[in-house]
Structure 1
Amino acid sequence: MISSSLDRPAVNENAAQSQNAQLQAEEKGFATVLQREPNNQTALKGLVSSRMRRGDILGTKAALERLVKLNPTNTQYKELLDAINKQVAESKNVGTLKPTGSQQSAPTPK
């Protein structure tokens, strides 16, 4: 069977939904770990990464603030938080900030 180009958007949409569901499951796992171990930096880094990939800028900001608090000398975390804060401020000025949803890219913490 030959698929038409009309079928492709549905495939892309399904792939995006699947990826979003996977990222939400990852976030839930990291959140569970953080309930038991609030200062678990591996879980915090994973949460930051998942939220960034999902485009949850406000959620990313909250988790990243915790990482900065735990690692006050880590300049990479501070720079990333500064970039996120700038994006939040710009989005508020334009009125486009969404707590979850649309894909937005930013560097992932290492």
Structure 2
Amino acid sequence: MAATENLESLKKQYGEAIVRRMERRKQLQKIMMFVGVVAFMGMMSSGFGKIFKDALQSPQSNEVEETSTVAEQLRSRERGYESVLQREPENPTALEGLARVRLEQNKLEEAIVPLEKLVELYPDRKDYRGLLKQVKSDTKSAGEK
């Protein structure tokens, strides 16, 4: 009842043509609001779909991929250091890098050769001697097991 009275007072005040335009605008606003809400919900659902899809994927497969990638990177770095050492057998950066990579790969026996070369080239470096001693000790312990 109040809406009809309100509509009648608007018609008196502004005229019928203007009131019809106002009503059409309200309808258009409602339609646009509905379309906006539907579009927003569609965008949100596609985003949530991706989140749920990622969450439901097996995290173990990602770990395996990362592990193989790390192992591949270590092998690649090892080959790189070896190629440098073929050209420059006394390159300290390549010797140290090769030893480090082999230790990361848990190739203790293979890490001894570059470490011995480093100790031979730099006898005053206590860190090289200490690391060589530690690796040889670890190699003996692993061999006894």
Larger radius of gyration: 2
Structure 1 runs, 4 residues or longer, greater than 3 Å off? none
Shift of 1:65: 1.1
% identical equivalent positions: 28
Greater per-residue helix proportion: 2
- The TM-score normalised by the length of structure 2 is 0.60
- Partner AA of 1:54 in structure 2: Q
Stretches of structure 2 lacking an aligned partner (at least 5 in a row): 1-52
- Partner AA of 2:79 in structure 1: K
Instruction: Give the counterpart of 1:40 among 83, 91, 113.
Output: 91
Stretches of structure 1 lacking an aligned partner (at least 5 in a row): 95-110
RMSD: 1.3
Instruction: Give the counterpart of 2:69 among 15, 18, 42.
Output: 18
Structure scoring higher RCO (CA < 8 A, sep ≥ 6) equals: 1
- Partner AA of 2:55 in structure 1: S
Paired residues in the alignment total 93
- Partner AA of 2:125 in structure 1: N
- The TM-score normalised by the length of structure 1 is 0.78
- After TM superposition, list the pairs within 5 Å mapping 1:1-110 onto structure 2: 1-4=53-56, 7-94=58-145
Q: How many angstroms apart in 2 are the aligned matches of 1:59 and 1:3?
A: 41
